[in-house]
A and B are shown apart, each in its own frame.
Chain A
Amino acid sequence: MTADTMHSEYHQDTAFQPRANRLGLWFFIMSECFLFGAFLSARYFTTGTFRPEELNQKLALAITIVLLASSISAYLAEASMAHNERKRFALWTTVTIGMAGIFLIGVAIELYEATLHYPPGTPYGSAYFMLIGLHAFHVITGMVGLFIVLFLGMRGRFGSDNYWGVEGVVKYWHFVDLAWVLIYPTLYLF
Chain B
Amino acid sequence: MKYVARGLVLAVTGYLSGVALTVIINGNGATDELAVIAGYVLALIGWLAGVGGIEAFGRQWIGKTPKVSESQGWKRYFEFSIDHKVIGIQYGVTLISVLLIGGLSAMIMRIELASPGMGVVDLDDFNKIVSMHGILMVAVAVAGVIGAFGNYVIPIQIGAADMAFPRLNALAYWLLPPVAVGLLGAPFLGAFNAGWTSYAPLSVTNDSGQILFNLAIITFGLVSILGALNILVTVITMRAPGMTWGRLPIFTWAGFATSLLAFTVTQFFAAALVLVTMDRVAGTAFFSPDVGTGLLYEHIFWFYSHPAVYIMVLPGFGVILELVTTFARKPLFAYKAVVAALLSIVGLSVVVWAHHMFTSGMADFLHGPFMILTEAISIPTGIIFLSIIGTLWQGRLWFRTPLIVAFGWLFNFLIGGITGIFLADVATDIHLHDTYFVVAHFHYTIVGGAIFALLAATFYWFPKITGRMYNETAGRIFGIWVTLAFNATFIPLFWAGMNGMNRRVGDYPAAFEGANKFASVSALILGASFLLFVGNLLYSAIRGPKAGPNPWNARTLEWLVESPPSQHNFHSQPRIVGHPYDYGVEGSIHAHFPDEEPHAEEQREEVTV
- A residues with CB within 8 A of B: 1-4, 6-7, 9-11, 16, 19-20, 23-24, 27-28, 30-32, 34-35, 37-39, 41-42, 45-46, 119-123, 125-127, 129-130, 148, 151-152, 155, 157
- Smallest CB gap from A17: residue in B: B164
Docked Cα-Cα span, A162 to B516, in Å, equals: 66
Q: How many residues on B have C-beta within 8 angstroms of the other chain's C-beta atoms?
A: 54
**26 A-B interface contacts by CB (under 8 A):** A3-B56, A3-B66, A3-B82, A6-B162, A6-B166, A10-B570, A20-B164, A20-B233, A20-B238, A23-B232, A27-B233, A31-B225, A34-B265, A35-B267, A38-B267, A38-B271, A38-B303, A42-B271, A42-B286, A42-B296, A45-B296, A120-B285, A121-B285, A123-B285, A126-B286, A130-B278
Q: What residues on B are CB-neighbors of A129 within 8 Å?
A: 278, 282, 284
Quick one: which of B226-254 are within 8 Å of A by CB?
A: 229-230, 232-233, 236-238, 240
Q: Could you tell me if B164 and A3 are in contact, using CB atoms closer than 8 angstroms?
A: no
- Smallest CB gap from A35: residue in B: B267
Docked Cα-Cα span, A125 to B236, in Å, equals: 43
Docked Cα-Cα span, A24 to B226, in Å, equals: 10
B414 within 8 A of A: no
Docked Cα-Cα span, A119 to B160, in Å, equals: 53
Docked Cα-Cα span, A170 to B166, in Å, equals: 23
Q: Could you tell me if B160 and A23 are in contact, using CB atoms closer than 8 angstroms?
A: no
Q: Could you tell me if A130 and B284 are in contact, using CB atoms closer than 8 angstroms?
A: yes
B156 within 8 A of A: no
Q: What residues on B are CB-neighbors of A120 within 8 Å?
A: 278, 282-285
Q: Could you tell me if A23 and B237 are in contact, using CB atoms closer than 8 angstroms?
A: yes
Quick one: which of B44-98 are within 8 Å of A by CB?
A: 56, 61-63, 65-68, 70, 82
- Smallest CB gap from A119: residue in B: B283
Q: What residues on B are CB-neighbors of A32 within 8 Å?
A: 267
Interface contacts beyond A6-B161, A31-B263: sample of 9 additional A-B pairs, CB < 8 Å, sorted by A: A3-B56, A6-B166, A9-B568, A23-B237, A24-B165, A31-B229, A46-B286, A121-B284, A123-B285
> Closest Cβ of chain A: how far from B378's Cβ, in Å?
26
Quick one: which of B146-165 are within 8 Å of A by CB?
A: 160-162, 164-165
Q: Could you tell me if B270 and A10 are in contact, using CB atoms closer than 8 angstroms?
A: no
Task: Enumerate the 8 nearest inter-chain pairs by beta-carbon distance, A residue then B residue, closest first.
Answer: A38-B271, A126-B284, A35-B267, A20-B164, A120-B284, A120-B283, A20-B237, A34-B267
Given contacts A19-B237, A119-B283, A121-B285, contact A35 B270 (CB under 8 A): yes
Q: Could you tell me if B160 and A10 are in contact, using CB atoms closer than 8 angstroms?
A: yes
- Smallest CB gap from B567: residue in A: A1
Q: Could you tell me if B573 and A10 are in contact, using CB atoms closer than 8 angstroms?
A: yes
B292 within 8 A of A: yes
Docked Cα-Cα span, A164 to B430, in Å, equals: 55
> Closest Cβ of chain A: how far from B154's Cβ, in Å?
15
- Smallest CB gap from A152: residue in B: B63
- Smallest CB gap from B282: residue in A: A120
Q: Could you tell me if A38 and B300 are in contact, using CB atoms closer than 8 angstroms?
A: yes
Docked Cα-Cα span, A9 to B162, in Å, equals: 10
Q: Select which of A3, A35, A123, A157 is within 8 A of B271 by beta carbon.
A: A35
Q: What residues on B are CB-neighbors of A130 within 8 Å?
A: 274-275, 278, 284, 286
Compute the total of residue contacts between A and B using a CB distance below 8 Å. 127
Given contacts A31-B225, A42-B271, A123-B291, contact A2 B68 (CB under 8 A): yes
Task: Tell me whether chain A's interface is mostly helix, strand or loop, or mixed.
Answer: helix
Q: Could you tell me if A46 and B82 are in contact, using CB atoms closer than 8 angstroms?
A: no
> Closest Cβ of chain A: how far from B173's Cβ, in Å?
15
Docked Cα-Cα span, A79 to B285, in Å, equals: 45
> Closest Cβ of chain A: how far from B494's Cβ, in Å?
35
Q: What residues on A are CB-neighbors of B400 within 8 Å?
A: none
> Closest Cβ of chain A: how far from B53's Cβ, in Å?
13
Q: What residues on A are CB-neighbors of B264 within 8 Å?
A: 30-31, 34
Q: What residues on A are CB-neighbors of B568 within 8 Å?
A: 9-10
Q: Could you tell me if A122 and B291 are in contact, using CB atoms closer than 8 angstroms?
A: yes
Docked Cα-Cα span, A95 to B285, in Å, equals: 38
Q: Select which of A7, A46, A122, A151 is within 8 A of B161 by beta carbon.
A: A7
B468 within 8 A of A: no
> Closest Cβ of chain A: how far from B255's Cβ, in Å?
15
B441 within 8 A of A: no
Q: What residues on B are CB-neighbors of A41 within 8 Å?
A: 300
- Smallest CB gap from B234: residue in A: A20
Docked Cα-Cα span, A134 to B544, in Å, equals: 53
B444 within 8 A of A: no
> Closest Cβ of chain A: how far from B511's Cβ, in Å?
41
Docked Cα-Cα span, A3 to B299, in Å, equals: 42
Quick one: which of B161-179 are within 8 Å of A by CB?
A: 161-162, 164-168
Docked Cα-Cα span, A28 to B70, in Å, equals: 28
Docked Cα-Cα span, A83 to B155, in Å, equals: 36
B290-333 vs A, CB cutoff 8 Å, 1 = contact: the mask equals 01110110011001000000000000000000000000000000
> Closest Cβ of chain B: how far from A136's Cβ, in Å?
14
Docked Cα-Cα span, A187 to B571, in Å, equals: 57
Q: Could you tell me if A6 and B82 are in contact, using CB atoms closer than 8 angstroms?
A: yes
Q: Could you tell me if A126 and B292 are in contact, using CB atoms closer than 8 angstroms?
A: yes
Q: Could you tell me if A121 and B63 are in contact, using CB atoms closer than 8 angstroms?
A: no
Q: Select which of B166, B263, B282 is within 8 A of A3 by beta carbon.
A: B166
Q: Could you tell me if B165 and A20 are in contact, using CB atoms closer than 8 angstroms?
A: yes
B478 within 8 A of A: no
Given contacts A10-B161, A148-B61, contact A125 B284 (CB under 8 A): yes
Docked Cα-Cα span, A19 to B491, in Å, equals: 51
Q: What residues on A are CB-neighbors of B236 within 8 Å?
A: 23
Q: What residues on B are CB-neighbors of A152 within 8 Å?
A: 61, 63
Q: What residues on B are CB-neighbors of A127 within 8 Å?
A: 286
B407 within 8 A of A: no
Docked Cα-Cα span, A11 to B240, in Å, equals: 10
Q: Could you tell me if B291 and A7 are in contact, using CB atoms closer than 8 angstroms?
A: no
